[in-house]
């Protein structure tokens, strides 16, 4: 082989991504002395002056061969220093965390945060108590009620009347009309009663609720149980405030044209449960829930296929897709009526169908009457 010309590739072991004529700016920065950056304008100026430094001048002419020449001589050995390997130090995290905590919880952040942490730890270690129906008071109060409260207060602007008709303690049966395609009225009644009296309403739900995934979990945690005589009586005996919607799916799934017309009140099972346990029946009339999802149609074949009582069509659903799931912001009125006493009946009265039907009708009539009264008083659906 002859004299092969060696063409240097890269920077010949010098750091930085230089052009070969000139070390890169990063490389120069690493060099000692931290000279001012020789930018293009600076270079022009330096041409006129006598340059004190040799290395900067040489590349500045721009016509020199690849020759590295002066570069190695003044450059001190390049050393790199290990930066903090852990990224942001723990103390920073802690400080940021404390700052955030102070922002969120205010000045009393420390006990507040300690409480929150204790709560979270209780949850993740399962160290909490549920009652025999699966009611989880802690999660109901902290999450369900907190989530529903703004909806009740801001969206539906619920006005509650006659709350004094709910006994402060002991068993009672709240019987309400049912409407709105989706049982939002039950949830709103729960949060309204809790906020006004501090008591939890224990709703009785259809078996469909306990068959549906997720819904069954939420229902039990929220305090619901199956609508059957055994559970109703058990809860009432236990001194709970129990809520029933005797119209069931006939009530919530009725067409918009039938709004505020009470449907059949089942077999009156709720009345016999109340008579057996001797608790008062508190009639509740809900105005406003009918308008949240005006049900104008139904797809019975699809409902049969899915095993649902109905598949609703509203003016906005399924037309607008998920947006159609937003309930209309109607103004709600909840009126608790005069309690119907059942403790004066004797023990056998619950097995007297005629008496049970009479009491059922009495409750139904009182709800229907107060519905009409409330509708007369209401200025408009949304105000």
Q: List residues binding other proteins (CB under 8 A).
A: 25-26, 29, 81, 83-84, 88-92, 94-96, 98-99, 102-103, 106-107, 110, 113-114, 117, 120-121, 123-134, 136, 207-208, 210-217, 220-221, 225-226, 228, 230-231, 234
Whole-angstrom distance, CA of residue 273 vs CA of residue 174: 12
Q: Between 26 and 296, name the residue whose CB sits nearer to other proteins.
A: 26
Tell me the closest approach of the beta carbon of residue 376 to other proteins, in angstroms.
41
Considering beta carbons, is residue 39 or 369 the nearer one to other proteins? 39
Closest CB to other proteins among 92 and 361? 92
Of the CA atoms within 13 Å of residue 32, those in its CB half-sphere come to 8
Looking at the Cβ atoms of 33 and 89, the one nearer to other proteins is 89
Between residues 234 and 378, which has the closer beta carbon with respect to other proteins?
234
Contact 277, 237 (CB under 8 A): yes
Closest CB 192 distance from other proteins, rounded Å: 25
Two tokens, residue 294: 């005006």
Give the Cα separation of 276 and 273 in Å (integer).
5
> For residue 113, what are its two tokens?
């945060």
Q: Measured from the CB of residue 299, what is the shortest distance to other proteins in angstroms?
A: 24
Distance from C-alpha of 29 to C-alpha of 26, rounded to nearest angstrom: 5
Determine the length of the chain. 383
Query: Alpha carbon of 271 to those of 22, 173, 240, 358, 369: distances in Å?
Result: 96, 9, 16, 10, 19
User: Shortest Cβ distance from residue 27 to other proteins (Å)?
Assistant: 11
CB 56, min distance to other proteins, A: 18
What value does the CA radius of gyration of the chain take, rounded to a whole number of Å?
38
Q: How far is the CB of 49 from other proteins (least distance, A)?
A: 26
Whole-number minimum distance, CB 274 to other proteins, in Å? 17
Of 196 and 237, CB closest to other proteins:
237
Which residue's CB is nearer to other proteins, number 3 or number 82? Answer: 82
Question: In Å, what is the CA distance from 206 to each residue of 163, 216, 225, 231?
Answer: 26, 10, 9, 12
Q: Find the shortest distance in angstroms from Cβ 215 to other proteins.
A: 8
Cβ distance to other proteins smaller for residue 214 or 347: 214
Query: What long-range pairs does 258-262 form, CB within 8 A, spacing at least 24?
Result: 259/179, 259/290, 259/291, 260/177, 260/179, 260/287, 260/290, 260/371, 260/372, 260/375, 262/177, 262/364, 262/367, 262/368, 262/371
Neighbours of 337 (CB within 10 A): 19
Give the CA distances from residue 70 to residues 21, 55, 66, 79, in Å, rounded to whole numbers and listed in that order.
Answer: 11, 6, 12, 20
What is the rounded CA–CA span in Å between residue 349 and residue 86?
Answer: 76
Alpha-carbon distance 201 to 171, whole Å? 11
- For residue 5, how far is the Cα from the chain centroid? 72
168 or 214, CB closer to other proteins?
214
Minimum separation from the CB atom of position 37 to other proteins (A): 10
């Amino acid at each position: 082989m002859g004299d092969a010309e060696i063409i240097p590739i890269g920077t010949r072991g010098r750091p930085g991504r230089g052009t070969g004529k000139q070390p890169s700016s990063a490389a120069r920065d690493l060099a000692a002395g931290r000279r001012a950056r020789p930018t293009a304008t600076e270079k022009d100026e330096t041409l006129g002056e006598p340059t004190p430094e040799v290395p900067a001048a040489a590349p500045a002419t721009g016509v020199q061969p690849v020759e590295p020449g002066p570069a190695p001589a003044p450059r001190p050995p390049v050393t790199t220093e290990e930066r903090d390997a852990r990224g942001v130090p723990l103390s920073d995290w802690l400080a940021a965390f404390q700052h955030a905590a102070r922002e969120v919880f205010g000045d009393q952040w420390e006990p507040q945060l300690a409480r929150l942490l204790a709560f979270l730890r209780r949850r993740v270690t399962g160290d909490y108590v549920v009652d025999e129906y699966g009611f989880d008071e802690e999660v109901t109060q902290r999450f369900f009620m907190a989530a529903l409260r703004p909806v009740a207060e801001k969206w539906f602007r619920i006005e509650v009347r006659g709350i004094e008709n709910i006994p402060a303690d002991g068993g009672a049966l709240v019987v309400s009309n049912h409407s709105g395609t989706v049982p939002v009225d039950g949830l709103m009644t729960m949060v309204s009663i809790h906020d006004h009296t501090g008591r939890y309403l224990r709703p009785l739900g259809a078996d469909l609720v306990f068959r549906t995934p997720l819904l069954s979990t939420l229902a039990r945690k929220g305090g619901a149980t199956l609508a059957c005589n055994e559970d109703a009586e058990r809860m009432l005996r236990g001194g709970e405030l129990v809520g029933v919607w005797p119209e069931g799916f006939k009530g919530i799934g009725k067409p918009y044209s039938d709004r505020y017309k009470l449907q059949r009140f089942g077999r009156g099972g709720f009345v016999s449960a109340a008579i057996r346990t001797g608790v008062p029946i508190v009639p509740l009339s809900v105005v406003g829930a009918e308008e949240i999802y005006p049900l104008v149609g139904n797809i019975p074949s699809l409902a049969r296929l899915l095993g649902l009582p109905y598949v609703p069509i509203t003016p906005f659903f399924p037309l607008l897709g998920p947006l159609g799931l937003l309930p209309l912001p109607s103004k709600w009125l909840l009126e608790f009526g005069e309690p119907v006493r059942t403790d004066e009946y004797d023990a056998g009265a619950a097995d007297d169908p005629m008496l049970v039907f009479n009491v059922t009708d009495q409750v139904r009539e009182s709800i229907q009457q107060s519905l009409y009264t409330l509708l007369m008083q209401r200025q408009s659906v949304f105000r």
